Chains A and B, each alone.
Chain A
Amino acid sequence: MIGRRGLIGLGTVAGVIALWFALTTLTGIVSGARFPSPSEFWASLVQIWTRGYAGGQLLTHALHSLKLVVMGFLVAIATGIPLGLWMGWSRRAEAAINPVFLVIRPIPPLAWIPLAILWLGLGDAAKIMVIWFSAFVPSVINTFAGVRNIDRPILEAARMLGTPRWRMVTEIIAPAASPLIFTGLRLSLQASWTTLVAAELVGAMVGVGFVLNMAQQDLYPAMILVGMITVGILGWATTFALARVERQALAWNVAARD
């Protein structure tokens, strides 16, 4: 079922495509050398989907990029959430780790790309490392904030009930901080895509960023547009999947907000 909001959204998309058609094919205000017409876009899409471009078909590029994002993101949250929990729980850990963070945080994640390529080459490992660095920070910071924002009576109630240390982390601290942890995950996922495409633009043999890079060198705006829209769709799909997980995990919380 498409609701009223869905219809409005579809209307906008249709309007944008109509305007696109009008500006390019219909009137020629925008020349094909700068921006492709809908038919050129479609032709490029068919080309990369069937015969391939930049060494592979669209699905190969897209799945490769998706795989790297998912892996980098998972490594980042598997390290970032525990570190954030630990820093939130222990003032001593915070005191020890925070200075390092203050220095590392302002470095844009993309600035790690040269070092990553130098260390690990143009393969997957370098990209996973860069994604890890960029997605790690939002996970840590939001998890940390989530722990620090837990209502004191919740923690006191758990202590009063004699909750042992490990159960305290898994059953009290982590779920209590989870709304903010998920905020961190959303930011981490966004950062993962940004970083991956940038890393693939700089050095890669396959992937959506590589497609964009090749299309630029070939002066092929229609293929650039195909690459951009592919990134958009992939980013939307992963965000959507994460939102589904969040809704499941925070059912107790979402319902409370209604």
Chain B
Amino acid sequence: MGSIRFQNVDKVFGASQAGVKVLDDINLAIGEKEFVAIVGPSGCGKTTCLRMVAGFEAPSSGTITVSGKVVTEPGPDRAVVFQQFALFPWKTVRENIDLGLRNKNLPAAERDRLIADALKLMNLESHAGAFPHQLSGGMQQRVAIARAYVLDPDVLLMDEPFGALDAQTRVVMQEELVRLARVNPRTVLFITHAVEEAVYLADRVAIMTRRPGRIKEVLDIKSVRIAENWDRFARIEDVMDQESFVHLRTQIWKSLREEKGAQGV
């Protein structure tokens, strides 16, 4: 349960002959409870990769499997956290989290328990009755994460989830996500253009080329994190000071810069 596999995935937007090829032969396997971040220049198709796993779009060729099953449509086994939160503004925090549970036809008592857990996990207990517009961006994204976690999904798909947040909130949320990954590890596919964020959060970072996007290289972060014991630091800035962190970050930057250079930017 909880693996993601891209096999020879191409994606063409528009009619197949005249269309624009955005993804070219993507192959990537994400193991159970592994956290993989995809970084790449803008327009490289990284978000499209996530949208295909979510079932919002279909590959033009090749297959995507989640937990061994071919993805054909969206479903609660693949929870998505969107950059723009995508909360339902007419529902309270509690109702937003509850919808997925009601769709699963769970009994009320069990839903109450799961919602209480999710609210506690994301420190939202005092906001259960609030509407999304009454919350800050960071709080809204907490609700979206709670809404995803409560489904107990096989995989968690996060599409630049902190991209719409201010810098301070962003750091708090990144630390929060690391904490979550420790108490409740999940298979995560995380899309970002922020290199530090990818290195800080991910077990592996996949770097994509410019369009048509291919997987250029995949860097192992986890072994470095364990060898250098980054987990002894509570704060992201302390991790980011480590030479091993700086080294990985620079490596990814250089790789991305090559792509921009190739683009003539």
Residues of A within 8 A of B84 (CB): 151, 153
Whether A175 is near chain B, meaning CB under 8 Å from some CB there, is yes
B198, CB-defined interface residue at 8 Å:
no
Contacts of B91 in A (CB 8 A): 171
A255 and chain B: residue at smallest CB distance:
B133
Does any Cβ of B come within 8 Å of A172's Cβ? yes
B132 to chain A, nearest CB (A): 8
- A159, A162, A175, A253 — most chain B CB neighbours (10 Å): A162
User: In the complex, A206→B76 CA distance in Å?
Assistant: 59
Q: State in angstroms the CA–CA spacing of A153 and B86 once bound together.
A: 5
Q: How many residues of A contact B (CB 8 A)?
A: 22
Q: How many residues of B contact A (CB 8 A)?
A: 28
Which of A157, A162, A175, A255 is in CB contact (< 8 Å) with B86? A157
Per the bound structure, the CA–CA distance linking A172 and B55 in Å amounts to: 19
Whether A153 pairs with B82 at a CB distance below 8 angstroms is yes
Q: Would you give the 0/1 interface string for B99-127, flagging 1 where the beta carbon is closer than 8 Å to chain A? A: 11011100000000000000000000000
Q: Do A162 and B89 touch across chains, with their CB atoms under 8 A apart?
A: no
Complex: chain B residue closest to A157, CB-CB: B86
- Option from B89, B90, B99, B134 in Cβ contact (under 8 Å) with A161: B99
Q: Are A171 and B99 in contact (CB under 8 A)?
A: yes
Are B76 and A161 closer than 8 Å at their CB atoms?
A: yes
Closest residue on chain A to residue B80 by CB atoms: A160
Q: A156–B103 contact, CB under 8 A?
A: no
- Between B55, B74, B79, the greatest number of chain A beta carbons within 10 A of the residue's beta carbon is seen for B74
- The listed residue (A151, A160, A171, A252) touching B76 by CB distance below 8 A is A160
**Given A151-B86, A156-B82, 19 other A-B residues pairs in contact with their CB atoms under 8 A:** A154-B86, A157-B82, A157-B87, A160-B54, A160-B55, A160-B74, A160-B75, A160-B76, A160-B78, A161-B76, A161-B151, A162-B74, A163-B99, A167-B102, A171-B88, A172-B88, A252-B133, A253-B90, A255-B131
19 pairs, CB–CB < 8 Å, chain A vs chain B? A154-B88, A156-B82, A157-B82, A157-B87, A159-B56, A160-B55, A160-B74, A160-B75, A160-B79, A160-B80, A161-B99, A161-B147, A162-B75, A167-B103, A171-B99, A175-B88, A176-B88, A176-B90, A252-B89
